[in-house]
Amino acid sequence: MPALDQKNMPFAALKRFVEPRPKANPTSACEFCRVEIAQQHSHVVNIETRSLMCVCRPCYLLFIRDGAAQGKYKAVSERYLFLPQLVLTRMQWDRLQIPVGTAFFFFNSTLGRTVVFYPSPAGATESLLSLDTWTELVGSNPILASLSTDVEALLVRNIKGREDFDCYVVPIDACYELVGRIRRCWKGFDGGEEAWSEIDAFFTEVRARSGTADVETDVSG
């Protein structure tokens, strides 16, 4: 699909896809069939509105195949992978002009390109991602070519004072969860102890759920 000019895409429409949705109550209903679902449940992306939908497991399974519902809906990936060998240089990171130590990358089918966002107290904020920088990353890390469009992301964390990065393949709703945690807990200029504890807890949970991938050879979906 040819790249689209972002100037022609209202930012509000894109923002809906990166803003976290509140967690469902234990008695929430599937947004397709209205059956009750638990707080821990599956998600489907509405590609047209760039939003997440809370769904029961049977409805989720209807949309795991590419092209289901003529491509209007897509089941969110459930793959978690730790990428200890991913090649990401400090120079590449600096080009992204990200003022914090965390960012996530995913291919946005509406824009026709990969985008990068970072969590902030105001929500998810987009940073500039040049085609050259992403092409370099994919060239050095073939597994990135396997990220599922719209529903799977590369999540990167750089801890201050370290030269290396913690990198993961995660479902896109995990990125929304991180953004939501930061928005709820961030206080003042530096976030406060509670916010940083939430961030640490989130990455501990992601690491526990993740298998370990060889970024040079593992390109499985």
Q: What is the pLDDT of residues 63-104, one digit of tens each?
A: 998 888 888 999 999 999 999 999 998 888 888 888 888 999
59/86 same-domain check = no
End-to-end CA distance of the chain: 21
Q: What pLDDT does residue 193 have?
A: 84
Does residue 196 belong to any structural domain of this protein? yes
Given the DSSP bridges, would you call strands 123-127 and 51-55 parallel, antiparallel or unpaired? unpaired
> Of 21-35, 109-123, 177-191, which gets the smallest average pLDDT?
21-35
49/141 same-domain check = no
In this prediction, residues 25-35 reach a mean pLDDT of 83
pLDDT confidence band for 10 (50 / 70 / 90) = very low
Q: Is the pLDDT of residue 54 over 90?
A: yes
Q: Which two tokens stand for residue 3?
A: 């790249």
pLDDT confidence band for 22 (50 / 70 / 90) = very low
The count of domains in the chain is 2
117/20 same-domain check = no
Task: Tell me which of 28, 60, 75 is where a domain ends.
Answer: 75
Q: Which two tokens stand for residue 36?
A: 């009750």
Q: Can you point out the beta strands (E) in the chain?
A: 42-46, 51-55, 73-75, 81-82, 102-108, 113-120, 123-127, 152-157, 166-171, 211-212
Q: What pLDDT does residue 162 have?
A: 63
DSSP 8-state secondary structure symbol assigned to residue 49? T
Does residue 217 belong to any structural domain of this protein? no
Does residue 191 belong to any structural domain of this protein? yes
3-state secondary structure of 206: helix
93/123 same-domain check = yes
Task: Tell me which of 60, 75, 90 is where a domain ends.
Answer: 75
Q: Is the pLDDT of residue 215 over 70?
A: no
19/42 same-domain check = yes
37/141 same-domain check = no
Task: Tell me which of 20, 47, 75 is where a domain ends.
Answer: 75
Q: Is the pLDDT of residue 216 over 60?
A: no
In terms of residue numbers, what domain contains 23? 7-75
More reliable by pLDDT, 49 or 54: 54
Q: State the Cα angle at 39 between 36 and 44, rounded to 5°.
A: 75
- Scan for tokens 């370099």, then name that residue: 136
46/88 same-domain check = no
67/87 same-domain check = no
86/49 same-domain check = no
Q: What pLDDT does residue 27 have?
A: 56
Does residue 218 belong to any structural domain of this protein? no
128/168 same-domain check = yes
88/193 same-domain check = yes
96/151 same-domain check = yes
